[in-house]
Amino acid sequence: MCGHRDVATLDHFLPKSVYPEYSALSINLVPVCPYCNNEKGNKLGDAAGRRFVHAYYDTLPEMELLVADVTVDSSVFVTFRIDRPSGFADPLIDNLEYHFKELKLGECFESEAFDELTGRAGMFHYQYANNGGEQGLAAMLSVEAVSERRKAGLNSWRVALYNALARNRDFCSSGFRLLSREDWDF
């Protein structure tokens, strides 16, 4: 349901406590990670009619819906959100927003992004120092976004992260240096 952790359990999309007749129906059993399975629990949806996105039946539109926002201040901060296109009314997007909020995917992706950025800090320093400074780093980040998109799809948290980093002038000009206390000498 999060799209990135290891799948190790099956979720009863329609909770077996509410719909015991569907507890062994294969289309009701969705492979998920233990975290998502626990967060979802026996929830079906909310009073507004929003529900979780079903992996088998819900196809998201081919548009960028997951967006990262990068702030460079005393450190590098990344947040994630669902960005509904202006004037785009679609119940599936309502469901995606519910799914994102209830499974706490923003917090999950923020943690993953922190690990990704600190793990790649040396590469950012190297790229900046040896391959074109700010523009070279932005270009490399854009290539990373394209590579991740081909691997994981348009709305992968890594795609959103690398797109946001590539567009963020503060990060590409010097903000990446805040990710590491080490002095990188390339």
User: Which residues form the domain of 71?
Assistant: 66-82+105-179
For residue 54, is it within any domain? no
Average pLDDT, the chain: 94
Q: What is the pLDDT of residues 67-103, one digit of tens each?
A: 999 999 999 999 999 998 887 778 999 999 999 999 9
For residue 15, is it within any domain? yes
Average pLDDT over residues 156-184: 93
Cα 113 from Cα 95, distance rounded (Å): 24
Residues 14 and 77 both lie in one domain: no
Domains in the chain, number:
2
- What is residue 88's predicted lDDT score, i.e. its pLDDT? 76
- What is residue 108's predicted lDDT score, i.e. its pLDDT? 94
- What is residue 86's predicted lDDT score, i.e. its pLDDT? 83
The percentage of the chain sitting over the pLDDT mark of 70, rounded to a whole number, equals 98
Cα 174 from Cα 160, distance rounded (Å): 20
Q: What is the pLDDT of residues 21-53, one digit of tens each?
A: 999 999 999 999 999 999 999 999 999 999 999
For residue 56, is it within any domain? no
- What is residue 182's predicted lDDT score, i.e. its pLDDT? 74
Query: Does the pLDDT of residue 110 top 90, yes or no?
Result: yes
Q: What is the pLDDT of residues 112-130, one digit of tens each?
A: 999 999 999 999 999 999 9
Helical residues (DSSP H) of the chain, grouped into ranges: 34-40, 91-102, 105-119, 121-130, 133-152, 157-167, 169-173
Cα 125 from Cα 72, distance rounded (Å): 16
- What is residue 186's predicted lDDT score, i.e. its pLDDT? 63
For residue 98, is it within any domain? no
Cα 40 from Cα 51, distance rounded (Å): 10
Residues 30 and 121 both lie in one domain: no
The three-class DSSP label of residue 140 is: helix
φ, ψ (nearest 5 deg) of residue 9: -140, 170
For residue 59, is it within any domain? no
Residues 77 and 29 both lie in one domain: no
* 158, 116 Cβ separation under 8 angstroms: yes
- What is residue 60's predicted lDDT score, i.e. its pLDDT? 87
- What is residue 150's predicted lDDT score, i.e. its pLDDT? 96
Enter the pTM of the model: 0.91
Query: Does the pLDDT of residue 10 top 90, yes or no?
Result: yes
pLDDT band for 64, please (50, 70, 90 cuts).
very high
